[in-house]
Amino acid sequence: MSIHISAKPGDIADKILLPGDPLRAKFIAENFLEDAVCFNEVRNMFGYTGTYKGQRVSVMGTGMGLPSISIYANELITQYGVKKLIRVGTAGSLNKDVHVRELVLAQAAATNSNIIRNDWPGFDFPQIADFELLDKAYHIAKGMGLTTHVGNVLSSDVFYSKHGQTHLELGKMNVYAVEMEAAALYYLAAQHGVQALGIMTISDSLVNPEEDTTAEERQNTFTDMMKVGLETLID
């Protein structure tokens, strides 16, 4: 087992969904996977492995923020051999044309974090999705009839920020949404030569606040992104 994951070798599939909320991981396991077995309860960061359409798939929470997902994704990749990682989470719209309950596929992730600059001072390393996963997810989502936006997101280090207006200015430059994990996941994928993608459901809007959803809805619904993520993971 690793420091933060109690799974034994072989307990985790080589493809995984990564919601931020561990209870969303539990929801996915109970509603989409067959024969799901819990492989991690350390810090209540639940992880499960089961099958989806006959293929072995895992799901595990990552917590909130770039540091948290960096810990779990690093251990999943380097100590458990995970090759495909798809974040399924929520995001806040920064663009007037991107509405609550619509999907955003993060083609790239800007960030205000120093987590990557610490490794590459003087460089702005581009955090980009794996194109194969991005292309596949887009066509799956469109085939399901889902309103889907492909473009940039902002991975922010802070949730309560004094820079809301700056974020809205980014929205005018087609940064569709703000979230807190994708840039770190994409950076780790680039470091270790694996595939990663962020699929987000818009849960609230900085430009259309009347569209916001409740905490319970965010935990237990938004199943479209889960279906798209699972279909994208399998061969």
Q: How far apart are the C-alpha atoms of 144 and 137, rounded to whole Å?
A: 11
Binding site membership: which residues?
A: 4, 20, 24, 43, 87-90, 179-181, 203-204
Predicted local distance difference test score (pLDDT) of residue 32: 98
Contact present, 50 and 36 (Cβ < 8 Å):
yes
Distance CA 199, CA 202 (A): 10
Which residues are identified as catalytic? 204
The Cα–Cα gap between 47 and 8 comes to 12
User: 131-143 and 223-233 are packed helices; what angle lies between their axes, rounded to 10 degrees?
Assistant: 130
> CA torsion, points 226, 87, 90, 106, in degrees to nearest 10?
-110
pLDDT for position 220: 62
pLDDT for 163: 75
DSSP E strand boundaries for 84-221: 84-93, 103-111, 148-155, 175-179, 195-205
Annotated binding site for a purine D-ribonucleoside: 4, 179-181, 203-204
Would you give per-residue pLDDT tens digits along the chain (235 residues)?
899 999 999 999 999 999 999 999 999 999 999 999 999 999 999 999 999 999 999 999 999 999 999 999 999 999 999 999 999 999 999 999 999 999 999 999 999 999 889 999 999 899 999 999 999 999 999 999 999 999 999 999 999 988 778 889 999 999 999 999 999 999 999 999 999 999 999 999 999 888 877 877 766 668 999 999 999 999 9
C-alpha to C-alpha distance for 151 and 232, rounded to whole angstroms = 18
